[in-house]
Every structure is written in structure tokens, then in C-alpha cells.
Structure 1
């Protein structure tokens, strides 16, 4: 199975507040993938600043593009994605997992024709 590393900013600060829902969804996707057998390591550069120096790909990208390049995802040491968190489907594909299936929409819970009143 492939190794996936996610390099991100700190989980604190104003950016985290703005992205709280996205971060929560991503955390759930990582938990799902890990339960399926994936090997995903999440690295906060604010909490582990030495990690930047240990990974030339990460260091080079952050020096060239700044913090906007984060999150940065490496798959087996190669850059796979930069600037956003991966989707559950992307994590599954990179890890060699079966693609997640969508849950069916319960039609009785929504309005049709835009006539919600």
C-alpha cells in the first residue's frame, strides 16, 4: 500500500476557523481511509517545523509558492496535490482502496420543483 503524507498549516488560527467544515470533512475522510487500511500521515508544519526541512519537495514548494501551496499531499514521496485537501475518492485511489460508494438520496426528505414553503 502506498504511503500518503499530508503537510498542512497549524490546525489553529483564523484560516482554521474559516475552513472548519472542510477540515472536519477531511478528518473524517482520513479516518475512513485509515480504517480501510490506508497509511496516511498528517503533518502540521506549525507543530512540527522540522518536517519542512526533512522533505525537499515540501520545502521547495513552500519557498516558491508560500503558505498558499498548503496543504501539500505526497504519495510515496511524490507531489500529488497542492493547495487543497484531497477528496475521499482521491485518498482511496492513491491508497489503492475500493472507491467509496455514495449513499442514496432519500427523496422523501427534499422538496421538488423548488416549492418549499
Structure 2
């Protein structure tokens, strides 16, 4: 199975789903990664604030940041190669890049709405993120 890593800019928590304003794209990514994980597909996600050493350890990502800066993150890496920068993959791109059926990530609007209602943020103490 292909290995995907997502190198994200600095955020207050590992998912970026904290605070009062939740970015819908970060919510989509968290939902996609949760769905993939339940189906046995692991995608590792690194946040510059929480895992800076991962950015140093990956030579391609380190060089990318040195040339382009952190404003061009996220960087999506599949099997050691940077394949997308500056945005997250669409659901179709996740399927294609990981070599999985597109039905694996069939959109379910109710699931996203349920996640928004159930989410209390990222668990930052009293809503106070770093």
C-alpha cells in the first residue's frame, strides 16, 4: 500500500480544529483521514508546531520549505515524493494517490454535519489553544 504523509503549517493543535471558527477544509481533512483510518488506510499528518523534527527529517520537505517557505504548506508526500503543495487533496485525489476505490471516500454530508455538532474543538484547555 502507498504511504501518504501530510506536512501542515503551524496550528494550535494537531488537527487545527480548535477555537471558535473551524476551517471547513480542515474539518473535511480530519473526516477523510478518520474514514481512511477506519478502513485500514493510514495517512500520517505532521503539524509544524507539534512535530518540527519530522520536517527536518524529510529531506524533500525540508528543501521545499527552505526554497518556498512555510506559506506553501501543506505539502502532500506519497512514497517519498511531494505530489501536492499549497492545498489538501480532493477526495478523488486521495483515492487516486493512495490507489484505493473512490467509493472509499464517498461524500456523506450528514457525517460532516454530525462531526461539526459533536466537535467541541481539539481538546485545548478551556478553548485556549497555544
Calculate the TM-score normalised by the size of structure 2: 0.69
Return structure 1 stretches of 4+ with deviation > 6 angstroms.
none
Q: Does 1:96 align with 2:112?
A: no
Q: Higher Cα Rg: structure 1 or 2?
A: 1
Q: Following the alignment from structure 2 to structure 1, what is the Cα–Cα distance between the partners of residues 46 and 107?
A: 29
Instruction: Provide the alpha-carbon RMSD of the alignment.
Output: 2.0
- Structure 1 equivalent of residue 4 of structure 2: 4
Unaligned runs of 5+ in 1: 104-117
1:1-117 pair list within 5 angstroms: 1-12=1-12, 20-100=23-103, 101=106
Question: Secondary structure at 1:41's aligned position in 2?
Answer: strand
Unaligned runs of 5+ in 2: 109-130
Equivalent residues, number: 101
Deviations 1:4-63 (A, max 9, x none): 0000023329xx577711100111011112222222000111111111110011011111
Preserved contact between residue 9 and residue 71 of structure 2 (Cα < 8 Å) = no
Whether the 8 Å contact between 1:45 and 1:52 is mirrored in structure 2 is yes
Mapped to 2, the partners of 1:59 and 1:96 lie a distance apart of 26
Residues 4, 77 of structure 2: 8 Å contact kept = yes
